[in-house]
Structure 1
Amino acid sequence: MEKIIEIKNLSKVYKNGRGITDINLDIHKGEIFGFLGPNGAGKTTAMKVMTGLIKPDSGDVKILGHSIVEEYQKAMGKVGCIIETAESYLYLTAYENLKQISRYYKNVDDERINEVLELTGLLKYKNEKPRKFSLGMKQRLGIAAAILSRPEVIILDEPLNGLDVEGMISMRNIIKSLVEKENATFFISSHLIHDVELTCTHIGVLYNGRMLNVDTMKNILNNYASLENYFVSEVERNGRI
């Protein structure tokens, strides 16, 4: 299978000793990869390095064959992402927000804007301003912005965090739909084990800045009662508790 994301010997450690150490990981086309770990495990640090927001101490990330360190523009050319928080212009409508973003891309027209609004369930709210939106609606607008340019790779940091049950179900359906309809590959971080289990095809467990294991969801559920059981087993087996 085609490798979409290649992470090699990636490290970034802060002065307080927290961060990530020697991460190695391959993500293949069409996967929904779940980057699973508790708060403070290093998930956001890894994703900031992956998207060029901070520089690694060592190692590299290649996206679609291009190094994030040496070929940043090419590496990020077909990537959509939300890191930490989905931001928007509160004084613009949902449509106007996406219209503003569309100016950065050559092939995004009004038809595409309406398409992503419909896909994310926001079409009927297109003329409303996000200051009136619920957290779930703001997250969906962030997703709409991230997928506007038809990216091949979509990187989402805690996209389910803070959503109610309906919002989580909606977000899962959006992610799965984009894989089916637009052949996207997802890299998703979360500490919400149950929702990762229902969303992702592959799982990587990050704990104290280190990768403990990577496996398919199918293999995990063939050998464990749930993803939570697998996670606890991996943490205990690696002597972290």
Structure 2
Amino acid sequence: MFEVRGLTKAYPGGRGIQDLNLAVRPGEVVALLGPNGAGKTTALRAMAGFIRADRGEARWNGASVADRPELTKPHMGFMIGEPAPYPYLTGYEYLKLYHKLYPGVDESRIRETLEQVGMAQQGHVKIKRYSTGMKQRIELASALLHRPKLMLLDEPFSGMDIEGRREMATALRALAAESGAGLIVSSHVVHDIEDLITHACIVREGRWVETASVDRVRESFSNVEDYYLHCVGGRKGGAA
């Protein structure tokens, strides 16, 4: 299980994230929801150990991500930051960069992953020719390559058309269901991921507001988007 308790990273001017709490169990998909500038990317970077939190921590199966990367990072996949930053490589070559980093990743796994994200036909096209949505897909492939048990995905549907978003959501849903992987997916567009998620974690103006299961949300709201709008409208609560 992945657990985040009191995670705080503050920057001058009040930006960052404060007192974030959430947990992800195998097969669960937690949405990190908030407006642009709410602190979602900072939260994900701190969870991943890319930046050190001011206080609080993220733990994978009891081990601190920040302090024990050798025990935690091999089980995690990340899609945080600029997608596919090497424009003169092909998608296949980009995935080959990860080839020696992970035991068990071979040529067949690269082809399998390209197929999984719908990029089998574009694997030998240079990334500079990719659309934004295609870059998102190839970046997701790099995160999936080593079959992680936890994935942290920052705005994975950015730049995709309706069909692409649906295909991506289907692939992520299958990943969680079939492999038992846990996912944390950030977004500021709730309807992109409403049918994908099992839990919603709301952040607003750099502060954690509430984390709740979708089942609990639907006891009081017709959909997750209504719940999200209710939370960012000002009410604060706790975990459910």
TM-score range, shorter-chain basis? over 0.9
Equivalent in the alignment of 1:102: 99
Displaced runs of 4 or more, over 6 A: none
Equivalent in the alignment of 1:191: 188
> Displacement of 1:16 after TM fit?
1.1
Equivalent in the alignment of 1:87: 84
Q: What does the per-residue CA deviation read over 1:95-141, in whole Å, with 9 as the maximum and x for residues that have no partner? A: 12112211211210111111101111111222111111111111110
Distance in 2 (alpha carbons) for counterparts of 1:19 and 1:91? 33
Stretch of structure 1 that moved more, 211-220 or 110-119 = 211-220
Residues 65, 75 of structure 1: 8 Å contact kept: no
Equivalent in the alignment of 1:74: 71
> Displacement of 1:42 after TM fit?
0.7
Residues 84, 127 of structure 2: 8 Å contact kept: no
Alignment counterpart, residue 223 of structure 1, candidates 207, 220, 225: 220
Query: In structure 1, the residue corresponding to 2:50 is in which secondary structure?
Result: coil
Distance in 2 (alpha carbons) for counterparts of 1:167 and 1:219? 29
Alignment counterpart, residue 8 of structure 1, candidates 1, 5, 9: 5
Residues 1:58 and 2:55 aligned together:
yes
- Map residues 17-166 of structure 1 onto 2, 5 A cutoff: 17-166=14-163
> Displacement of 1:78 after TM fit?
0.8
Query: In structure 2, the residue corresponding to 1:75 is in which secondary structure?
Result: helix
Stretch of structure 1 that moved more, 229-238 or 107-116 = 229-238
Structure 1 spans left out of the alignment, 5+ residues: none
Equivalent in the alignment of 2:173: 176
Distance in 1 (alpha carbons) for counterparts of 2:102 and 2:229? 44
> Displacement of 1:88 after TM fit?
4.0
Distance in 1 (alpha carbons) for counterparts of 2:134 and 2:232? 35
Residues 34, 232 of structure 2: 8 Å contact kept: no
Q: What does the per-residue CA deviation read over 1:163-203, in whole Å, with 9 as the maximum and x for residues that have no partner? A: 11111111101101211232211011110111121221111
Distance in 1 (alpha carbons) for counterparts of 2:81 and 2:35? 15
> Displacement of 1:24 after TM fit?
1.9
Query: In structure 2, the residue corresponding to 1:197 is in which secondary structure?
Result: coil
Paired residues, number: 236
Residues 88, 97 of structure 1: 8 Å contact kept: no
Distance in 1 (alpha carbons) for counterparts of 2:2 and 2:75? 12
Equivalent in the alignment of 1:212: 209
Distance in 2 (alpha carbons) for counterparts of 1:36 and 1:16? 21
The one-letter code matched in structure 1 to 2:81 is E
Q: What does the per-residue CA deviation read over 1:208-232, in whole Å, with 9 as the maximum and x for residues that have no partner? A: 2222111122222332122221112
> Displacement of 1:69 after TM fit?
2.4
| Aligned CA-pair RMSD | 1.5
The one-letter code matched in structure 1 to 2:180 is N
> Displacement of 1:237 after TM fit?
5.1
Query: In structure 1, the residue corresponding to 2:233 is in which secondary structure?
Result: helix
Distance in 1 (alpha carbons) for counterparts of 2:72 and 2:60? 5
Distance in 2 (alpha carbons) for counterparts of 1:147 and 1:136? 17
Q: What does the per-residue CA deviation read over 1:32-54, in whole Å, with 9 as the maximum and x for residues that have no partner? A: 11000001111111111111121
Identical counterparts, % of pairs: 36
Distance in 2 (alpha carbons) for counterparts of 1:25 and 1:32? 11
The one-letter code matched in structure 2 to 1:93 is T
